[in-house]
A and B are shown apart, each in its own frame.
Chain A
């Protein structure tokens, strides 16, 4: 049981480049989430999904898109990266209970 995995672990992008972060969970969870963590800001919700084929905006969705084509995967896309998107990105999943299970994070630097 791997839990929640994230790919890649690190990435450096130039301004304007695009990339996709992949989150996978093997716990058959319905709900999945993407957060970003910045120094002194805690975790802020970007987008979330309550089931396969559904997505919704969180607190800071601008500049990001998401897709949930398969229940076990939740993709976060940056179409045109900006330095303000330099952050650590965490994916999480949960069942109907409140506890969320987090992946190890992706550290993204945009220069």
Chain B
């Protein structure tokens, strides 16, 4: 049973606008969350993370919000740029060894 869920397979946003990518999780023991970005024919690259003791973490144009009561996190990209077009994966560590990944959301930023 998938413990990290990304229910939107794709998202299209205009350049300069905000992109919001959502992620839900079922395991209340998760205490750390990560977002990865993946371009075609490349490996995923780490983007941003958040600990469960925080509700927000910001890094430049990227902000991740965590709502523990709703078991929900979101990644905001402001402003969106065409180079942000990629697949974004939400992930959470499992027993400290491996990562549980969501199925990914494909973001397309149009000029």
- Separation of A33 and B91 alpha carbons in the complex (Å): 15
- 1/0 contact string of A47-90 vs chain B (CB within 8 Å): 01010000010100000000000000000000000000000001
A40/B9 in contact, CB under 8 A:
yes
Closest to A3 in B: B43
List, in ascending order, chain A residues with CB within 8 A of B44's CB: 43, 90, 102
Chain A residues near B97 (CB, 8 Å)?
A: 31, 48, 50, 56
Cα distance A64–B61 when bound, in Å?
40
User: Contact between A100 and B99 (Cβ–Cβ < 8 Å)?
Assistant: yes
B9 contacts across to A, CB distance below 8 A: 40
**Closest Cβ–Cβ distance, residue B108 to chain A (whole Å):** 17
Q: Specify the chain A residue showing the minimal Cβ separation from B4.
A: A42
Chain A residues, Cβ within 8 Å of B46: 99-101
Digitize A13-30: 1 where CB-to-B-CB distance is under 8 Å, 0 elsewhere.
000000000000000000
Answer whether residue B101 sits at the interface, using C-beta atoms and an 8 A cutoff: yes
* Interface size band for B: 20 to 34
B89 adjacent to chain A (CB < 8 Å): yes
Is B75 among interface residues, defined by CB-CB distance under 8 A? Answer: no
- Residues in B with CB closer than 8 Å to A110 are none
Tell me the nearest residue of chain B to A9, going by C-beta. Answer: B41
The smallest C-beta distance from B84 to any residue of chain A, in angstroms, reads 19
- Does B56 reach chain A (CB closer than 8 Å)? no
| A105-B42 in contact (CB<8A) | yes
Query: A48-B97, A50-B97, A98-B34 known; A41 and B103 CB under 8 Å?
Result: yes
Q: Given the complex of chains A and B, what is the CA–CA distance between A41 and B49 in angstroms?
A: 22
Q: List 6 A-B contacts (CB under 8 A).
A: A31-B97, A40-B9, A42-B103, A45-B98, A45-B99, A98-B99
